[in-house]
Structure 1
Amino acid sequence: MTNFETRTETVVMLIQPGQNPEIVVNAVKPAFPNLVVIEEQPESKKLFIIRRAKKLGWVQALGQLATMVVSKYGKRFTTKRAEEIREQFGLSATLDSTIPRIAVSSANSPELLKILADMRPSALLLFSCRMLKGETLAAISCPVLNFHAGINPQYRGLQGGYWSRIERDEENFGGTVHLVDAGVDTGDTLYQQRIRPSKRDTMHTYPLLQTAASTGIIVKALEDAVTGNLKPLKIAAPSRQWYHPPIWTWIWNGATRGIW
C-alpha cells in the first residue's frame, strides 16, 4: 500500500455497517488519525423495492430483489476468495474500537447535519450509504466525496463491475472517487482505479475487489480535499445508470457466459 502523510484534520466517514466500509475505515485511519465514523441505519428492503418498482415496474423490482437476496447469502460461499483479496492488498475488515462512532437514523436526518455543524470536518466521505438529498448537500460546508464501485460515467449506479464484464468492457472494471452532487454518481470524478477481476470472482466479490484496489485513491482524494487541492477530471464517455440484474438475467449470463 502507498504511504501517505499523517494529517491532523478531522475527516468524517458516513457508512452503513459492513465488511467493505470497515476496510475503507481501516485504510483511512492511518492517514487521518482524527477520523470519525457516522453509521446510518440501513433502509428497509420494503421501502427500497417500492421505490424501485415506481421507477422500473414490479416485475423488474422483484427480480432485482431476488438477485440481492442470492448475493447476500451467496457471500458465505466466497469467504476464501474474500480473504485472498484482503491479504493481496494488505487490508483488514476488523472493526477498530478506537475510532469514534456515532449512530444516526438516516443520512438525510437533521441529526446528521447537527453533528457535522458541531464537528466542522475538513471532508466528508460517503461509502455504502443513502444518497444525500439536495437540501442535505446544500447544508454541508465541507467537500463531500463518494466512493463508487464502478467506473464513472459509464457504470454509474449499482453493480458496475458486473455490468462492465457483461458489456465485454473489463478494461473499465474498477472504482471511482468523485465529488457528490444531487445525481446518481454524476459528480465530478477525482480518481479512478482499474483492476482485472479473477476468473474466480463473481458478483459476490466484485465490490470487495473494487474497494480493496481503490483504498489508495480514496486516501489521496481525501488529502486533496482537506488541503484545498481538488482537481476534477474531464472525462468524455457515455453516461449510463445501472441496477441490480434481475435474477433471470443473472442466471442466464452465468449459465451461458460464466459471468456470475
Structure 2
Amino acid sequence: MNVQGVNVHPEGLPSGRFVVVTTGNLPEAWFLVSHLLERGREVAVLNAYGRPLRNQVTVLRRLRRDHGLGYVVGLLAARIFRSRYQAPEHVPFPEIDAETIARMHATVPVHETDDLHDRRALAFLRSMEPDYILVAGAPVLRRELYTIPRFGALNRHPGISPLYRGSDCPIWTLAAGDFDHVGYTIHRVSSRVDGGEVLLQRRVQLVPGEDFGQAMARITRAGSEGFAEVIDAIIDGHVLPGIEQEKIGQHYPPAPLGVIRRAHDRYLDAVKHRRPAAT
C-alpha cells in the first residue's frame, strides 16, 4: 500500500456541514448525528426507507445469476432464522432508541426517499451544501451522489479492506476462520466498492466468554466509534493517514444461512480456546 499523511483541513473545519446517508433510519446513522450535534456541527440526513419491490426482485435475480439458486434460498432463510444466532437483545447502540431517533429527527433536516439517486434526493443533498457525506448503512452509491460534497464521502466498512469487501464481512471473516482479520475500515468512497483511500483501519479482538451476538454488536459499535474519531480528526485539523488500497481481496455478497451458522460455530470454538488478552 502507498501511505502518506493527509491533512485536508490544517486549521480544522470549524463550520463543517455533514450529511449522513443511510437506509431504514439505522441507529448507526443516528449515532453519528448525535456525535456531530454534540460537536456543534450542522448535520442533515438522507434516508432510504426501503427498496421498491421491483428493485428487490432485480437484486435477487442478479444474486441468483451470480451465485446460484442454492445461495438465494440460503439468503432468504437467513432473513428468517438469523435471530437464532444474533439475538435481538444484543444491540450496538442501546442509547439510540426510537425515542432518541424521533427527537433528533425533529431537530435536523431529513429527506426520506425510496431511491437515494432520484432527482429530489440529489437536490436535497445539493441544497445542504455539505462538506462531507458520511455513509452509514447505505447501498452502493453512484458517482453523481458521492461527488456532491466539497471534500468527498466517507464510509465505515465493517471489514478489513481490501481483503474483505462487500456485505456481512464479519460473518464471512469468522466463517473462514480468519480471526486475525476481524475489524473495520474507514475509507473514502470511490468507484470501487469499499476500495477507496483508507483513513483508519483497526482489528477487533475476540473476547472469551462473549457470545456470538455480543461480538457482532461490539464489532459494529467499534466501527462507528472509529468513524467518530475520524470525524473529530477532520474537524480538529489532525493529520490522517492516506492509504491507497491494493487491488486484492474479494467482494462478498450478503451471507446466507449456512455461512452464518459456520461463522457462529467457528467463533464459539475459537473463543473457547482463546486466552483473555493481557491488560
Range class of TM-score, shorter chain: 0.7 to 0.9
Per the alignment, in what secondary structure is the counterpart of residue 77 of structure 1? Answer: coil
Q: Which residue of 2 aligns with 1:15?
A: 22
TM-score normalized by structure 1?
0.79
- Which structure has the higher relative contact order (CA within 8 Å, separation 6+)? 2
Specify whether residues 257 and 114 from structure 1 end up closer, same or farther in structure 2 by C-alpha distance, changes over 3 A only: closer
In structure 2, what is the Cα distance between the partners aligned to 1:122 and 1:109?
21
Aligned to 1:36: 44
Q: Aligned match of 1:242 in 247, 252, 259?
A: 252
Alignment of 1:118 onto 2:127: yes
Q: Is the 8 A contact 2:157 2:223 kept in 1?
A: no
Give the conservation status (yes or no) of the 8 Å contact 1:75–1:205: no
- Cα distance change, pair 66–28 in 1 and its aligned pair in 2 (3 A): farther
1:252 Cα deviation from its structure 2 partner: 4.7
Query: Cα distance, 1:201 vs. partner?
Result: 3.8
| AA aligned opposite 1:11 | F
Higher strand share: 2
1:167 to 163, 176, 183: 176
Question: Unaligned 5+ residue runs, structure 1?
Answer: none
Code of the aligned partner of 2:78:
T
Matched, 1:212 2:221: yes
Query: Following the alignment from structure 1 to structure 2, what is the Cα–Cα distance between the partners of residues 142 and 153?
Result: 23
**Cα deviation 1:179-229 (Å, max 9, x = unaligned):** 111222111111113222445343x55553223113343134335556696
Shift of 1:146: 1.0
Secondary structure at 1:61's aligned position in 2? helix
Among 199, 204, 209, the residue aligned to 1:190: 199
Q: How does 1:1-260 map onto structure 2 within 5 Å?
A: 7-16=14-23, 17-43=25-51, 44=53, 45-71=56-82, 73-74=83-84, 77-79=87-89, 81-82=90-91, 86=93, 92-93=96-97, 94-95=100-101, 96=104, 97-138=106-147, 141-198=150-207, 199-202=209-212, 204=213, 206-223=215-232, 231-234=241-244, 238-252=248-262, 254=264, 258=268
In the comparison of the two structures, how many residue pairs are matched?
248
Contact 1:6–1:30 at 8 Å: present in 2 too?
no
Contact 1:24 1:211 in 2 (8 A): no
1:138 and 1:10 map into 2 onto residues whose CA distance is 15
Partner of 2:272: none
3-state DSSP of counterpart to 1:52? helix
Whether the aligned pair in 1 keeps the contact of 2:131 and 2:152 (CA below 8 Å) is yes
Q: Which runs of 5+ in 2 are unaligned?
A: 1-11, 270-279
- C-alpha distance in 1 between matches for 2:266 and 2:233: 44
Identity of aligned residues (%): 18
Asked whether the equivalents of residues 172 and 259 of structure 2 are also in contact (C-alpha less than 8 Å), the reply is: no
* Partner Cα distance (2:264, 2:225) in 1: 32
SS in 1 for 2:38: coil
Structure (1 or 2) with the larger CA radius of gyration: 2
**Residue 192 of structure 2: SS of its match in structure 1?**
coil
**Distance in 1 separating the partners of 2:173 and 2:263:** 13
Question: Is the alpha carbon distance of 1:27 and 1:212 closer, same or farther for their aligned partners in structure 2, counting shifts above 3 Å?
Answer: farther
